[in-house]
Structure formats: C-alpha cells, structure tokens
Structure 1
Amino acid sequence: MDKEESEYTKDEILEKRKKFFSSSVSVSYENSDPLMIMGGYKARLIDEHGNVYLDTRNNVCHVGHQNEAVVAAVQKQVGILNTNTRYLHPNAALLAERLVSLLPDPLCKVFFVNSGSEANDLALRLAQAKTKSNNMIVVDTAYHGHTLSTLAVSPYKYKSKEFNMPFNDSLGKNVIKVPCPDTFRGIHTGDDAASKYANYVVEACNTYKKRGEDVCAFITEGGLSVGGVILPPPMYFKKCVDAVRAAGGLYIADEVQTALGRLGDDCFWAFLHGGNDIVPDIVTIGKPFGNGMPLAAVITTEEVSSAFESMGVEYFNTFAGSPVCCAAGLAVLDELERNKLPAHAARVGNYLKSKFLSLDLSDCPDVNIGDVRGRGLFMGIDIVNNDMEPGTLETSFICTKLKEDFRILTSIDGPHDNVLVVKPPLAFSIEDADEFIDAFKKAAQMIAKIDKSKISKTPT
C-alpha cells in the first residue's frame, strides 16, 4: 500500500521530482535547500516538520494562505457541483458583474480563463481581431506568460543569448522592444524621464507606419515585477497610449501581478498609478484572483469583443470560470471589501517602505540599499555594493540567510538579480514587517564575515 502524502520525507519527494520532472521546471531555493511546504495560514507557510516561515513573496494567495472564507466557499461549491462551463451558473455571472463594477467604463465584457498566461494569450487574440494587425510593442524585462504567443512579448524570458526560439526572428519585425521606464537605474532618470521613455514607443509606432502598417497593441504591466518592481513615472502611460492609439493600436494592461488592491486602496489597479486616467482597451488579471485556485480573466470593451465575435470562431475553455473557481473569486472580492485589505496594504506598505529607507546599515560594510520603490505591498529593495553597483552576490546571500536562519521567504528579480521583491499575501501585518526588517539587517551583517567567492550567483 502506498504511503500517505504526509509520510514521505523531503528527500524522497525530491528524488521523485528529479526522476519524473524536467529540470526546466524550477523549484524555489534550488541553490540551497528546497522547501517542502505542507500547510499555511495568513502570511505564513509550514513545512513537513512544522517549521513556520514568514512569506513575503507569494502574491498568489492574495487574501492569505488558507483564508477561511475562501476555503469555505470552495468546499461548499465543490460538494454541490463542478463541471465544464457549457452551462449557466450563478457564480460565473455574478463574478463577471462584480469584476466589471470594479473597472472604469467602457470595460464591460469578461472572458474567464485559467491563468495569467492564458489571459494574456487571449488578450493578444482579441487585439489582433480588432486591429487586423500583429505588430506589437513590448517593454524590456517584461513577462507576460509561458504560451508561445506570450513568450514572444516577454523579453524577460529571452534575455539569455542561448535561448533560441522561432519567434525570436520576429523581433524588430512584428515585435518591437522599448526600454524599461526605470527611473533609478535606467537610461533616463530626470524629471522628463516619462517623455523620454514614451518617445521610444512613439518611435516604434513610426517604424510600423513607415512600413505602411498599423500597430496591434502596446502590452505592459502596470508595475514590472520581474523587471525589479518598476512603476513607470507619471504621464508615461498617457504619452505611450496616445501614440499607440493614433497608430491604430490598443492598450493591453497586464494586471496579473498587481491587481485587486495590492498597490493600495487608491490604486486598486496598477494602471491607475500616478493619477493616470487612461483606460485600457483590454485588462488581464490572474494570480491573486482565485487565492490559489486556477482563475484568471480578460476584461475588454464592447467594441473589441464585437470584433472578436465577428471572426466567427467560438471561444470555449473547459474549466475557465467553473463554479468552484468562481466561488473562490467571489470570496476573494468579499474578503478584500470586508477586511479593507487594499487600505491595509497601503498602510503596511508605507510602514515597511519607511523602515527600509531609514534602516541603519553602517555596521553592514558590504551592503547598501540603493533604492526602495513601489507602493502598497508591491515593493522592491534594490541592493547595491560599496561601489553602488548591483549587489547580485549580496542579495543572493541575504535571500538564502533569511530562509535558513530566520525562516523568512523572499524572492529576487530585476535584470541584475539584485532586487528583493516584496509581494506577500495582503494579510501581511505591521508585526510581520518588523520581523522582516530585523532579520534583513541581521542577514546583511553576516556578509562581512564570509568568503564571497563561496556565495552562489544563482538567485533563489
């Protein structure tokens, strides 16, 4: 008789994973000691030995690990019905209605899908149906998914020269990459950075125009997470979108990592950052929507939806918008409202940001904080060395020590792998923030005592 799941050791599971999984399927903390997580609550995860870890990185369980209201909603619905999406069911219709109510006009048509990758893949299809073009403009370091079409607009995934895929040949033909609007480490950092960065989008539009072609779409994240938590400067979106629309294109806002109040109650959607009042033609959401259940969505206008319908191709997705997943989505929206979690995210995020900005690292001679950016519980701590260069080794060391010595889980991103990205469940508290800050400083103090040549360069 097979063992119960809880009876397997981590070594046994790791052996099975190596045997049956491709090595291309990554696991966190691969360069140190992978975790076997068996439980969780709020902003905490629990391993097979009962060790509890503070989770600063998991933006999937948006309203908290094993949130009681979401668990109850899923359990209740799965005990009644879970089937394909050919039938009418209240959960899907009610969730679509709630979603539209949270977005500005004229966004009014909803497509449910299973993941952020599927959402962005469908967004590209919708844009192509409306514009009859496939000419894309994308931002360097962006990530939009793992399907073939979304990989083509995800420079983050083809930054390696060794990564060769057929769509790479299309770069400069029907996919033009523009610089990331990074005002800290980017090529433009002054007061006029928004205009200068937006000019690259204008130039991309002109490139297509010279070829006698329209633009299909400008796809961008409201905040670039894997790019190192980059929130574009105010007016950037407006200048870019004005140019794109003048060239016949659409604006796709990828909110997969940043939607539903992560940036605070005054920025429920990241595309609103900086007082921006430009409404996207298409919005995609994913990761946080189902609190761990496979639920994502595309929301668009009547005009775009009608163009897609006119192609005469039925859109059917077997599991997308299932009764159980929609029950989870409704519960997530209820929890956000009931517990005022977007306002909580703003309050805790402001506190954490102020703590990092005022952190005294004078006794940490090899570690400096170059920048603390983001808003709400979407934050990036840009770590630099004594030469103010990206502290890639130092960041990797701190990340590993936070896990091993303090049981705090973090993630690293950015082009130089030197940005600690903070995007925890919105249940993350002031007390959690204090624990994180205290451990961060202690981990930073350890660097001066070790041989840096022994630090792995591979981010965890």
Structure 2
Amino acid sequence: MRNAATPSRRGRMVNGFDPATLHELRERTSAQIQRRMRLLGPAYRLFYRNPVEISRGSGVMLYDADGAEYLDAYNNVVPIGHCHPRVVEAVTRQMQTLCTHTRYIQEGILDYAEDLLGTFGGRIEHAMFTCTGSEANDLALRIAKHYTGKQGIIVTSEAYHGNSELTAGFSPSMGENSPLGAYVRRVPAPDSYRVDSNDIGGWMAGHVAAQIEDLQRRGDGLAAFIVDSAFSSDGVFSDPTTVLGPVAEVVRKAGGLFIADEVQSGFGRMGSDFWGYQRHGVDPDIVTMGKPMGNGYPVAGVAVAPEVVETFGHDMRYFNTFGGNSVAMAAAQATLDVIRDEGLLENAVRVGTVIRNGMSDLARKHDRIGDVRGAGLYTGVELVKDRSSKEPDAATALAAVNGLRERRVLISATGFNANTLKIRPPLVFSEANADQLLTELDAVLNEI
C-alpha cells in the first residue's frame, strides 16, 4: 500500500533495539541482552537504542536496578499506575482464597460482568472473558465469521490487533514479513493531517465500500470491519469524530459486523467517554478489551450484542481455562473501581489538555513538529521535515524518543513512517508529570 522499503516494513519494530549495536552499550547491559537472546531466542524485541532495565514500578514511575527513576509516559497496561495498592490487595486476597475457572458458579465474575456491561449502553448485553487482547480479537472474529457466514476482514492500513495466527493475519503493522490473510483487506487511516476533514467519514467509508466490493467479487463477502478508534498504530487520529459513523453504515449494509477494538482506546483513555468508540457515536456489534483491564494482571474480554452471539453459543461452546478466573476478575474489578472512584476520566481530560497545549507551544518553537493531535491521555505528535510538504521525519522522531529515554522519560513512536511520537501515560499522570515531559522534550528537540 505504501513504500515497502521503510524499515518498519521489514520485520523490525518501531523504536526497536538493534542487536548489531551491542558493542556500544555498557558491559553489564550488553551481557544481559546477550543472555536474553540466548535464552529467549530471536523473536523478542527490546525498546530503545539503549534498552532500559526495569526492576520495579510505583505510580507513574519506573526504577532500574541502580534505583534511577524513569517517568513512564507510555504504559497504558497500568491505567491506574504501577503496583496500585487496591489491585495488589484484591489479587492477593483472592489468590489466598481461590483461583479457578468459569465452569463453577462464582459471584465475582457475575458482579464484574454486570458492572462492566453497564458502561457500554447500546445493544451490548453479554461479556466473555479471555487472558489477552489477542485472544479477545481472535474470539470476536470467530463469532463474526460464524454469524455472517463470510470470511472477509477489513482493517486500517497499519492496524495492530494481536499476535495469534488469526489476529496476526489482520495486523499489518507487524511488517511485510508477517503475512496477511487471504480475505483481509486494508483501507487508509483517517489521516486528519493530510485528508480534508470536512468529509473524512465519507472518504473512509468509500474506501471500505471498495474493499467490500472486492471481497464480494472474489466469491466471499464481509465478516467484520475491526478498528481501534484511536488509530494507535496508524499514527494516532482523534478528530473529527464523524469518521466511524459512515463506515458503520456501509459495513452493516453489506451484512458485516462492526467491531470496536478498545484494547488501547478504552477504559477512559480518551477522557470524554469510557470507551473510545463512544466519541464517534457508533453502536458496535462487538467490543474487545485487553491490556489496561486488570492493571497489569492478564485479563481481557469480549462484549457482544445478544443476537450476534446467539447462534455461536448454540452451535459450539466457549471455554478458556484462565479467561475469567477468580483472580483475574478481582484485578479487573479493582481496576474499574479505581478508575471511577479517583475520577480518572476527568484527570485524563485535564492533563491531556495540558500536554497537547504544551506540545502546540513547542510547535511554535520547533518547526519539525507538524501536527499535535489526540484526546484524553493519548497524544500523537507528528514530526516532519518540512511543514509545507508534510514529509515525514522518522529520524527526528526516533532521535526524540531515544533522547527522552536518556533523560529518563519513556515514550515511543508510531505510524507507518514511525514519525509520530506516541504519548500514552497511565491515567494517574499529573500536571507536574506533564510539565516534566514537555520540559525534557523541549530540551531534546533543542539538542537535535
């Protein structure tokens, strides 16, 4: 779809460590990485030119073995902060009592499901639990294919939806060496920086309609359109919020399902609403969840409209030994309680606004900042070589990411060209934390 020569398309990871530079690292770090490669094999990746060793975490801070402190402005796996005492206590108490699967009657899973389902509105009525977002998306597509009798899946051009056999097959951001499924089609992301925003929803719906026609012409049709409403791997796009409504109409007209992948955009991440898709005013057929659901404990899930899962549940059973286990439900319940009790959606709006306003101020000083976008505590800062041409500047983006790492502030980069700074801190991020991030980024850009 775009230039395959870009390094991110050759099996590499955006902001990934290059083992060829081992000799540049201090002796201890080099030895640790060599041991890791020997024991864990070649498929694992590390972040940063100079990888970070993490020994413990607390709130929005991470600490290495020497006690050095790092500001975590990237980790949405722990939305309420690292090692939150309420989650630690809930998991410990439940582990001391019972940890078992869903084939026994237990109140914990029912209480949590009822609480969770109350956040969706619309047609969603059932919850099913897994361990990871990959499993959740895998299950969602199994349900969609069974319901529609079709195989076709449409995703955005750089989407990431998981690493199982099925989900890797519709996760183009994994690189050109990771094959896509035969019935997987891609559409461009709603690049609000380059596409006229007046009819960006109609523009995107037109691309989806064209891919549906291609699937039908090849003898099948559409099972589902699946989307992360923050467009995280595509470069983070948040506005306008008129994008997904027209797409949903086209998808349903073709008999397909609309699946909202909320692994990155859910649980208050976008600030104004609990779920990212709610900003767009759509009513999905299936919602998938993962990463932030248990504040670090492996728990994920699928929420689904009853008519969509009815025949699937009749024709086959679903069981997952660890999905929905007692301890996972305790972690998830504690996380959900803290998000609400501590007003973290409101905090995401307030602090996220501080970050984006600060980034816009930096853009007046640094002309390599082409665009600042996002919502809540999810911000993308696109770096360009020239504001007139809007030519992506991956080199400066990666230099900024690694420069911040040396100043002990952790973010990453995203997008096809790896030129967008990806800022996604825990929801407990404060204005003081935001000021530190902005101050250090200013210093790094001055150095570059």
| Both structures adopt the same fold (TM-score exceeding 0.5) | yes
CA distances 1:197-229 after superposition (whole Å, capped 9, x unpaired): 211112222333445644211111111111111
Question: How has the CA–CA distance of structure 1 residues 386 and 246 changed in structure 2, closer, same or farther, with 3 Å as cutoff?
Answer: closer
1: CA distance, partners of 2:66 / 2:85:
23
2:229 is matched with 222
CA contact (8 A) 2:200 2:242 kept: no
CA distances 1:324-356 after superposition (whole Å, capped 9, x unpaired): 111010001110111000110011001111111
Of the three residues 393, 409, 412, the one matched with 1:391 is 393
1: CA distance, partners of 2:324 / 2:309:
18
2:430 is matched with 429
2: CA distance, partners of 1:150 / 1:50:
38
Matched, 1:382 2:399: no
Aligned-pair CA distance for 1:361: 5.6
2: CA distance, partners of 1:182 / 1:90:
45
Structure 1 residues 189-338: aligned runs within 5 Å: 189-211=196-218, 213-231=220-238, 233-264=240-271, 266-273=272-279, 276-311=280-315, 313-338=316-341
CA distances 1:388-412 after superposition (whole Å, capped 9, x unpaired): 42221111111111111x2101111
Give the residue type in structure 1 aligned to 2:189: C
1: CA distance, partners of 2:158 / 2:359:
25
1: CA distance, partners of 2:411 / 2:307:
42
1: CA distance, partners of 2:161 / 2:303:
16
Structure 1 residues 45-84: aligned runs within 5 Å: 45-84=62-101
RMSD over aligned Cα atoms = 1.7
2:22 is matched with none
1:454 is matched with none
CA contact (8 A) 2:117 2:125 kept: yes
Which range moves more in the overlay, 126-135 or 83-92?
83-92
The percent identity for this pair of structures is: 36
1: CA distance, partners of 2:40 / 2:186:
33
2: CA distance, partners of 1:384 / 1:182:
14
Structure 2: gaps of 5 or more residues = 1-27
2:56 is matched with 39
2: CA distance, partners of 1:446 / 1:246:
53
Question: How has the CA–CA distance of structure 1 residues 419 and 72 changed in structure 2, closer, same or farther, with 3 Å as cutoff?
Answer: same
2: CA distance, partners of 1:142 / 1:417:
13
CA contact (8 A) 1:361 1:441 kept: no
Give the residue type in structure 2 aligned to 1:442: A
CA distances 1:232-287 after superposition (whole Å, capped 9, x unpaired): 633321111111111111101000001011111x22111122xx332100000101
Of the three residues 99, 103, 126, the one matched with 2:116 is 99
Partner of 2:198, secondary structure, is coil
2:193 is matched with 184
1: CA distance, partners of 2:242 / 2:352:
23
Aligned-pair CA distance for 1:385: 2.5
Give the residue type in structure 2 aligned to 1:382: E
Question: How has the CA–CA distance of structure 1 residues 210 and 391 changed in structure 2, closer, same or farther, with 3 Å as cutoff?
Answer: closer
CA contact (8 A) 2:236 2:374 kept: yes
Of the three residues 19, 25, 40, the one matched with 2:38 is 19
Matched, 1:144 2:161: yes
Give the residue type in structure 1 aligned to 2:317: E
Of the three residues 399, 402, 405, the one matched with 1:400 is 402
2: CA distance, partners of 1:439 / 1:232:
27
Which range moves more in the overlay, 110-119 or 77-86?
77-86
Matched, 1:343 2:346: yes
CA contact (8 A) 1:181 1:232 kept: no
1: CA distance, partners of 2:444 / 2:138:
40
CA distances 1:407-446 after superposition (whole Å, capped 9, x unpaired): 1011111111111111111111000000010100101111
CA contact (8 A) 1:209 1:247 kept: no
Q: Give the alignment's TM-score, normalised by structure 2.
A: 0.90
1: CA distance, partners of 2:309 / 2:198:
38
Structure 1: gaps of 5 or more residues = 1-8, 448-460
CA distances 1:275-332 after superposition (whole Å, capped 9, x unpaired): x332100000101001000000000011112121122x22110001111111010001
CA contact (8 A) 1:119 1:296 kept: yes
CA distances 1:107-158 after superposition (whole Å, capped 9, x unpaired): 0111100011000000000101111111112111111000111112112123
Give the residue type in structure 1 aligned to 2:445: A
Partner of 2:362, secondary structure, is coil
Partner of 1:104, secondary structure, is coil
Question: How has the CA–CA distance of structure 1 residues 432 and 164 changed in structure 2, closer, same or farther, with 3 Å as cutoff?
Answer: closer
Q: Give the alignment's TM-score, normalised by structure 1.
A: 0.88
2:20 is matched with none
Of the three residues 174, 183, 187, the one matched with 1:157 is 174
Which range moves more in the overlay, 60-69 or 199-208?
199-208
1:5 is matched with none
Aligned-pair CA distance for 1:360: 5.9
